[in-house]
Structure 1
Amino acid sequence: MKKVILIIAILLKVSVGFSQTNNGRVIGNTIDENKKPIEFANVLLHRVADSVFVKAAISDEKGNFEMDHLVLENYYITIKHQTFKTFKSENFSITAGNKIKSFTDITLNKNSNTIQEVVVTSGIKPFVERKLDKIIVNVENSIVATGNSVLEVLERSPGVMVNQESSINLKGKSGVVIMIDGKPTPLSGTDLMAYLKGIQANNVQTIEIISNPSAKYDAAGNAGIINIKLKKNQKIGFNGSLTLSYGQGVYAKPSASTNLNYRNKKWNFFGTYSHAEPTDFTMFYINRKFFDANHNVVSIFDQTSYIKRPIISDNSKIGADFYANEKTVVGVMLNGNWNSSNRDGNTNSIIKKPDGSVDYTTDNSVTLNEKRFNGFGNVNFKHSFNNEGKEVTADVDFGQYDSKTLQDINNSNLSSDGQTVTLNKLFTNQVGNIAVKSVKADYSHPFSKTAKLEVGLKSSLVTSDNDVKFYDVIDNENVLDSNRSNQFIYKENINAVYASFAKEFTKWDFQFGLRTEHTHTNGEQIATNEKFSRDYTNFFPNVVVNRKFSDDNSLAFSYTKRIDRPTYRQLNPFKIFVDSYTYVVGDPTLKSVITNIFEFNHTFKGKYITTLSYSKSNDAITDIFQQDDATKISFQIPANMQDFEQINLGIYVPFKIDKTVNSTLSGSVNNNKYTSPLQGSTLHNDFTSWDANLTNNIALGKGWSAELNGFYQSKSVWGLFIIKNLAQVSSGIQKVSKNKNSTFKFAISDIFLTNHIAVEVQYQNQDFFTNRTWDSRVATLSYTYRFGKNTIEKARQHKSGVEDEKRRAG
């Protein structure tokens, strides 16, 4: 909290007196083929030097648009509308002698092929938008996202299911690639969850959910890609913002963040910093049954856990872009995340006999001290050969991910009358390091306005080093347990090349792509001297065919092949104890998962979208549980299933209730089917589930607006697990000052406390139920102040070369 106060004190001293003469002006009007004015056309002004977005306007009821306060520069405009083809102007100059550029009767031709952004006349972007190839979650303008972490925003995103302790699934499938600004995070499991909890939603602009990526992307992730795009202020001159937030659930959640930027014709410097000190809790209830050889119940295990977790998180991002000339840009970017937490947990277990009487009880306390640092750097280069899109880009990426975990476990076994029977203590010290290096280059060559070839290559090298030591605490002395202590070193080198060709015709559009990846890995357990090595090559085709039947109807078909490699944590054979009766362990023999995905996509009137997809995975990875009926110990381990099939039907429907309420309904129906030999038998788990997400943006007038969002996920299946239904309703209100410099927000998440994860398993000798709740209902008040120049010149949205490595660490 002291750091939050210090940030506030420093930033409130910032005063801005920076101005620049901006006298340029662009005016014009839009009409259709019948000479009628086009209303609500999005007019975008771009700078010729780097094609970055500078300023925007929307045409009025007479088709007129206007953009003023422009610096002297070379520009071009593009005009987009959901029912018309995109228009691009010739380059023009705003000079001291010619400060006004006028466009007269720009004619837009009808075309339903491209799904443009749905114009919201109230000026409020919907929380969720559906484009042809992805779903966009507009975090920046969301009221209910204020004060939340990125992980909490993902919980409310369509098709996304979050287990806050270990995983993220998309459309009921694991194998999701998590990217930050186009750079995959090498983290996974609890490491990834801790990282995403430490990133405040105030630092996020949008979240892109891409279920069917093209050949240009890494082939990793059979469920798709979630790309979290952080804010990058690109206004002319010096400007910035300060956000202060305070949330109150069961525990307090204060945070503060700032965003600073300076830009002139040659340079753009940007930086963000945030500090948060939320305190969370997690409460578990677990009921397990244990059996004899004849499958008769011999013991019932009731366990209740409460874990309190104060977190201190600092995030920073700094960078610069140098515009050497109109065609060449060089950039550098550094990201850093420091996260520390102290988990204080207590578990009480009652072990009952089959008749319900108490056999014995246990009292288990676990304290965990974690310190993590994630650092990432990128150097990038872009050169445009002309203004038609012929360009080459290159990236060099490097990252370091360090973690240190100290854990104390104290366990007491008590007789039915409360007398201590046994007492034991365990101490663990785990140190982890992941180093990522990557180089990448891409070339784009348009043959015409309707045909383009893209080619590229990439090479990445990842080294993961995990060292864990177990100690039995005897007479207050730590005695090393060499049988359980170990060091696991894993190295992976992936080399890839791709080519993609796209061609547009009057009624048909095509895209064909092929990506080839060669993978070489080796792993070593130092204590046991066990080693393994793998070497394989895969080909990943991608096909998209789009047919325009009319102005109102188009149908697209796509096929892609994907791979889901085991995460570094899943390969790690170390035992990580949750308590004395539960641990998590990896399996270094896990195989990669190959998935084939087929999808049909129908678009009606440029905005109503229906999708039907089928996917089949070989050797799908899911977590499974195993238990020892004699010791009452259960453990979670990843395993390859033989086959996984999914059929998915999805809809996206934007609509208006009246002039002030814009709503979006998205939903899907999934049939998930697992078939695999498992634990001496054959698993058949076939289940149909559905989910729905409704968002409502309400314009109240005079700077006031509100938001009401909700989602529902029915009972679903994942491997062995049956996941019970869950839901959440969140709401908020905001006030924007007349000069647009101040914004006040108040929001409440999970109003009815319906967001929880309940899971049951009934297979072989396993019969258990678990229910997990957390600090999900939080009331948050935030204030944002913007200062400096307000002339927008948005930066190029650069993505670096690391696309898979970051998510797989841990």
Structure 2
Amino acid sequence: MKKLIHSLYILLVVLFAANAQAQPQNKQQQTLSLSGALVNEQGKPLDYATVTLLRAKDSSVVKGTLTSESGTYLFDKLQAGKYIVAATNIGYKKTYSPTVDVNGELAKTMVPAIKMLQSSQSLQTVNVVAAKPLIERKMDRTVMNVENSVLAAGNSALEVLERAPGVSIDKDDNISLKGKQGVTVMINDKLTYMSASQLTTMLKSMDASTIQSIEIITNPSAKYDASGNSGIINIKLKKNKQTGTNGNLSLGVVKGRNWRNNTSLSLNHKQGNLNLFATLSRGDQKRENILNIDRRVDSAQSSTYFKQRTSLLSEVHYNNYRFGADYATSSKNTVGFVINGDYTNEYNNPNKTTTQLGRTPDANDSYQTTLANIKQTYRNFAANVNDKLQLDTNGQELSVDLDYSIFHNGSDARYETNFLLPNGSTQRPPQFILNQTPATITIWTQKADYALPLNKTMKLEAGVKFSSVKTDNDLQAQINSGDVFINDTSRTNHFIYEEKIAAGYLNLNKSFRKTSIQAGLRAERTSSMGDLVTKNQVVDRKYLNFFPSVFINHTLSDKHELGISYSRRIDRPGYDQLNPFRFYLDQYTYEQGNPFLKPQYTNSFELSYTYNKTINVTLGYAKTTDVSTEIILTDTISKATYQTRLNLNTQNSYNININSPYTISKWWTGNVNFNGFYQQYKSADLLGANLNNGKATFILRTTQTFMVAKGWKAEASGYYQSPLSFGIFDIKQQYAVDAGVSHSFYQKKMNVKFAVSDIFNTRRNAVSSHYQSVNLDVHQKNETRLARLTFTYNFGNSKIKMRQHQTGADDEKNRVKSGN
């Protein structure tokens, strides 16, 4: 029985470490070994005890085995590095060896005999789980480990995301990576199927305490969907990794000008081959936003100057859920499902805009006030069914994902505009406008991935995917006529968009002694149709694209690594960007989609250098054609200014990124990230002139972590962004400082965190554009100085990690507009 129990345990260890063992082995790996022995207090050997080899840097499992009858063990075919040996045996305390350095100077490394004490005796155990650094550099991505960061306390996912290396977020919450928009955002390796505005709304409502890490992938391989011209941001959510029943409870309160609160509960139950998991989160958020716009509109006869002052107050009440199960039908096959969704209401009651009009900058010939009462609802649901089959013990496997998502979004708005003279008297009767904007988005995807190791150093990957999307937007607009409301035919609109994408890819990985190469090719055939029902106007497109990618990594020595990569990508317009509806701030200011917007294509090159696995430098160049860019246009007849998107000719992007973690002392560590880039926009005949605009920009971020006392940790971070240019816009500098402190107690099961973001309240957006007929200056101040207090409690057992799974319905979700 004793041997059987140990055999079952080691089987789990081996399965858990399978991914690490599937890596190709070079000559050095096959000659390095580590051996030792286990003994009891009397020095007698312990037979059939479980021995696990761990990486010293993060305690990840490398290999597992059982001791022989003489109490000895052997790990062979190892990579050079630092390891720890963990030993367990029934009736004995779990014991660890000191850190062992397998450095290649000796083919065989001996570990001093490990003495195990019986469980009835006390033992001062060694904690081998090293805290991961905030920023890690891996072969094809940069990882920001959010889980243990003090600054994650009480923050939203969006607020944490903008602290990631190379990530910036503008005044409209558009996400850029190394200065480029068009980022694809994934959650747990799944595309979010949301538009930019939907995505930011969802990220605002997501509690950062549910995030484990954020991965920045600037040059994705052919395995990923080809969308996203600036790369992929993958948000990894925490997963309960324990056997039995366990969970996590998080409670938070936030105070700025207004109060906010957030609560999340995660539960996990694992028994035998079945694993059940669920996460529920809810919150109430109240935000203020001050928006000032000064602009000049020229006509043939005269110029009109506008001074617009808007006070925005929004209340968001969100409820998110996620639950699922995994079941191992055999040792080689696991099936599962995941269901998630959200139920969110957002209120803007009221937003007040005051607009002053004059023939000179200082004149006030008339003015108007607009009160907007808006209620937006988001009812989103997504389901995934998956199956992963290991076809043999050599690493051949097949995985299948089926996804269904549906988004029900709605908006009910009432606008009341009063027209006044400078003395406050009525210029003309007030105007009342009603808008109802129901929208339904339905997404189906099917995806299959296959992996085949051809030999110890070569692996082939292949896959197919099919997605089908339909969006239905029906804007019903009414305007007052006397005491009744009638249909406003100038704004009422019905827009239906359908899109089908069939894709397939091949990836080949080859490892040499010091060099690894990956080459891939992805093909995507797109068929889309936009039907502007109201105007009987159809935009029908069909196109086939190929997306190659190449990655080469070379190890110069133990401390020096080089990498070079190339990929071609596409960025299709978001569904809301194609929607020609008008979304009003007032009658002189609105946003409108463009159904004729084309996809943009990007060719990206990147050269990287890594020193000692820590300091990383990357140089990149990307050229984008048919650049989809925000632009301001003016209707000289109505004197209205509106924002839309157009395709510019080209964008050339040059960037350098330097990231370096460092240790000042055992209680003080830090990280600094420098991102410099130059974006050049070119377009012929844009508003009657040739555009050639660009500016060198840099973003500097630094984070300091202090272990101030036992159980206490403090963290401070700051960032500075120099002025930059984006299309026809010039954006002024930004900077801010954040800080926080946390305390763990009750055997580290409880934690209290206090953090303040934007301590000096310096973060603001200042944007200007003076190009041809466009003359405007925008100043925006969000509620950014916030104090957060968060309490978390971890409960339950903690033994065996659960299966992690990624699904296939991701790219399409990233283009849907949602709430929060």
The normalised TM-score by structure 1 is 0.87
Contact 1:392–1:441 (CA under 8 A) maintained in structure 2: yes
- Counterpart-to-counterpart distance in 1, 2:36 and 2:292: 62
- Counterpart-to-counterpart distance in 2, 1:666 and 1:63: 41
Partner of residue 806, structure 2: 799
- Counterpart-to-counterpart distance in 1, 2:322 and 2:565: 37
Post-superposition Cα deviations, 1:391-428, rounded to whole Å, max 9, x if no partner, equal: 11110011011101011111112112221112211110
How many aligned residue pairs are there? 745
Contact 1:49–1:327 (CA under 8 A) maintained in structure 2: no
Partner of residue 764, structure 1: 772
Q: Which of the residues 359, 369, 375 maps onto 1:363?
A: 369
- Counterpart-to-counterpart distance in 1, 2:699 and 2:596: 35
* Deviation of 1:681 (Å): 1.2
* Deviation of 1:367 (Å): 1.1
Contact 1:147–1:780 (CA under 8 A) maintained in structure 2: yes
* Deviation of 1:133 (Å): 1.4
Given the superposition, is the C-alpha separation of residues 111 and 790 from structure 1 closer, same or farther in structure 2, using an over 3 Å criterion?
closer
Given the superposition, is the C-alpha separation of residues 307 and 783 from structure 1 closer, same or farther in structure 2, using an over 3 Å criterion?
same
Contact 1:50–1:329 (CA under 8 A) maintained in structure 2: no
Given the superposition, is the C-alpha separation of residues 656 and 492 from structure 1 closer, same or farther in structure 2, using an over 3 Å criterion?
same
Q: Which of the residues 321, 327, 333 maps onto 1:316?
A: 321
Partner of residue 595, structure 2: 588
Query: What secondary structure does 2:370 align onto?
Result: strand
Given the superposition, is the C-alpha separation of residues 102 and 721 from structure 1 closer, same or farther in structure 2, using an over 3 Å criterion?
farther
Partner of residue 338, structure 2: 333
Given the superposition, is the C-alpha separation of residues 490 and 541 from structure 1 closer, same or farther in structure 2, using an over 3 Å criterion?
same
- Counterpart-to-counterpart distance in 1, 2:128 and 2:435: 58
Post-superposition Cα deviations, 1:154-180, rounded to whole Å, max 9, x if no partner, equal: 222222222363521111111111112
User: More displaced, 372-381 or 158-167?
Assistant: 158-167
User: More displaced, 683-692 or 470-479?
Assistant: 470-479
Contact 1:372–1:401 (CA under 8 A) maintained in structure 2: yes
* Deviation of 1:237 (Å): 0.3
Say if 2:411 is the partner of 1:405.
Answer: yes
* Deviation of 1:488 (Å): 0.7
Post-superposition Cα deviations, 1:650-676, rounded to whole Å, max 9, x if no partner, equal: 111111111111111111110100000
1:154-193 maps to which residues of 2 (within 5 A)? 154-163=161-170, 165-193=172-200
Post-superposition Cα deviations, 1:262-297, rounded to whole Å, max 9, x if no partner, equal: 002210000010110111111101111223449xx7
- Counterpart-to-counterpart distance in 2, 1:65 and 1:478: 87
Partner of residue 131, structure 1: 138
Say if 2:623 is the partner of 1:579.
Answer: no
Partner of residue 213, structure 1: 220
Say if 2:698 is the partner of 1:690.
Answer: yes
Say if 2:380 is the partner of 1:374.
Answer: yes
Given the superposition, is the C-alpha separation of residues 323 and 573 from structure 1 closer, same or farther in structure 2, using an over 3 Å criterion?
same
Amino acid at match of 1:366: A
Contact 2:258–2:286 (CA under 8 A) maintained in structure 1: yes
Amino acid at match of 1:351: L
Partner of residue 439, structure 1: 446
Contact 2:325–2:337 (CA under 8 A) maintained in structure 1: yes
- Counterpart-to-counterpart distance in 1, 2:611 and 2:515: 16
Post-superposition Cα deviations, 1:676-703, rounded to whole Å, max 9, x if no partner, equal: 0211211111211000111122112321
Amino acid at match of 2:362: G
Query: What secondary structure does 1:222 align onto?
Result: coil
User: More displaced, 552-561 or 628-637?
Assistant: 628-637
Partner of residue 33, structure 1: none
Query: What secondary structure does 1:191 align onto?
Result: helix
* Deviation of 1:132 (Å): 2.7
Q: Which of the residues 403, 409, 424 maps onto 1:418?
A: 424
- Counterpart-to-counterpart distance in 2, 1:729 and 1:387: 51
Query: Highest Rg: 1 or 2?
Result: 2
Partner of residue 299, structure 1: 304
Partner of residue 101, structure 2: none
- Counterpart-to-counterpart distance in 2, 1:392 and 1:502: 17
Query: What secondary structure does 1:125 align onto?
Result: coil
- Counterpart-to-counterpart distance in 2, 1:359 and 1:46: 78
1:521-670 maps to which residues of 2 (within 5 A)? 521-670=528-677
* Deviation of 1:146 (Å): 1.2
Post-superposition Cα deviations, 1:500-546, rounded to whole Å, max 9, x if no partner, equal: 00111112221110000111111211111111211110000000112
User: More displaced, 246-255 or 98-107?
Assistant: 98-107
Post-superposition Cα deviations, 1:242-277, rounded to whole Å, max 9, x if no partner, equal: 111111111001111111010022100000101101
Contact 2:37–2:72 (CA under 8 A) maintained in structure 1: no
Partner of residue 100, structure 2: none
Query: What secondary structure does 1:779 align onto?
Result: strand
Query: What secondary structure does 2:200 align onto?
Result: helix
In structure 1, list runs of 5 or more residues that go unmatched.
1-21, 29-43, 54-61, 67-72, 113-119
* Deviation of 1:355 (Å): 6.0
Contact 1:45–1:78 (CA under 8 A) maintained in structure 2: no
The normalised TM-score by structure 2 is 0.86
Q: Which of the residues 268, 272, 280 maps onto 2:275?
A: 268
Post-superposition Cα deviations, 1:139-195, rounded to whole Å, max 9, x if no partner, equal: 221111111111111222222222363521111111111112222122213322222
Given the superposition, is the C-alpha separation of residues 789 and 102 from structure 1 closer, same or farther in structure 2, using an over 3 Å criterion?
farther
Contact 2:65–2:73 (CA under 8 A) maintained in structure 1: no
Amino acid at match of 2:182: G
- Counterpart-to-counterpart distance in 1, 2:9 and 2:475: 66
Given the superposition, is the C-alpha separation of residues 154 and 411 from structure 1 closer, same or farther in structure 2, using an over 3 Å criterion?
same
Given the superposition, is the C-alpha separation of residues 103 and 699 from structure 1 closer, same or farther in structure 2, using an over 3 Å criterion?
farther
Query: What secondary structure does 2:657 align onto?
Result: strand
Partner of residue 345, structure 1: 351
Partner of residue 746, structure 1: 754
Partner of residue 38, structure 1: none
Query: What secondary structure does 2:437 align onto?
Result: strand
Given the superposition, is the C-alpha separation of residues 667 and 101 from structure 1 closer, same or farther in structure 2, using an over 3 Å criterion?
farther
- Counterpart-to-counterpart distance in 2, 1:164 and 1:128: 26
Given the superposition, is the C-alpha separation of residues 49 and 265 from structure 1 closer, same or farther in structure 2, using an over 3 Å criterion?
farther
* Deviation of 1:724 (Å): 1.3
Amino acid at match of 1:318: F
Query: What secondary structure does 1:546 align onto?
Result: strand
Given the superposition, is the C-alpha separation of residues 392 and 101 from structure 1 closer, same or farther in structure 2, using an over 3 Å criterion?
farther
Say if 2:485 is the partner of 1:518.
Answer: no
- Counterpart-to-counterpart distance in 1, 2:37 and 2:532: 66
User: More displaced, 768-777 or 266-275?
Assistant: 768-777
Given the superposition, is the C-alpha separation of residues 165 and 24 from structure 1 closer, same or farther in structure 2, using an over 3 Å criterion?
farther
User: More displaced, 143-152 or 497-506?
Assistant: 143-152
Post-superposition Cα deviations, 1:595-638, rounded to whole Å, max 9, x if no partner, equal: 10011011112221110010000101011001134533110111
- Counterpart-to-counterpart distance in 2, 1:731 and 1:720: 35
Contact 2:171–2:780 (CA under 8 A) maintained in structure 1: no
Contact 2:193–2:809 (CA under 8 A) maintained in structure 1: no
Contact 1:52–1:794 (CA under 8 A) maintained in structure 2: no
In structure 2, list runs of 5 or more residues that go unmatched.
21-33, 39-47, 83-126
Q: Which of the residues 390, 394, 399 maps onto 1:393?
A: 399
- Counterpart-to-counterpart distance in 2, 1:523 and 1:99: 73
Contact 1:492–1:519 (CA under 8 A) maintained in structure 2: yes
* Deviation of 1:738 (Å): 4.2
Amino acid at match of 1:804: D
Amino acid at match of 2:763: N
Contact 2:291–2:310 (CA under 8 A) maintained in structure 1: yes
Say if 2:15 is the partner of 1:48.
Answer: yes
Given the superposition, is the C-alpha separation of residues 51 and 399 from structure 1 closer, same or farther in structure 2, using an over 3 Å criterion?
farther
- Counterpart-to-counterpart distance in 2, 1:257 and 1:99: 50
Query: What secondary structure does 1:588 align onto?
Result: coil
Given the superposition, is the C-alpha separation of residues 159 and 605 from structure 1 closer, same or farther in structure 2, using an over 3 Å criterion?
same
Given the superposition, is the C-alpha separation of residues 703 and 586 from structure 1 closer, same or farther in structure 2, using an over 3 Å criterion?
same
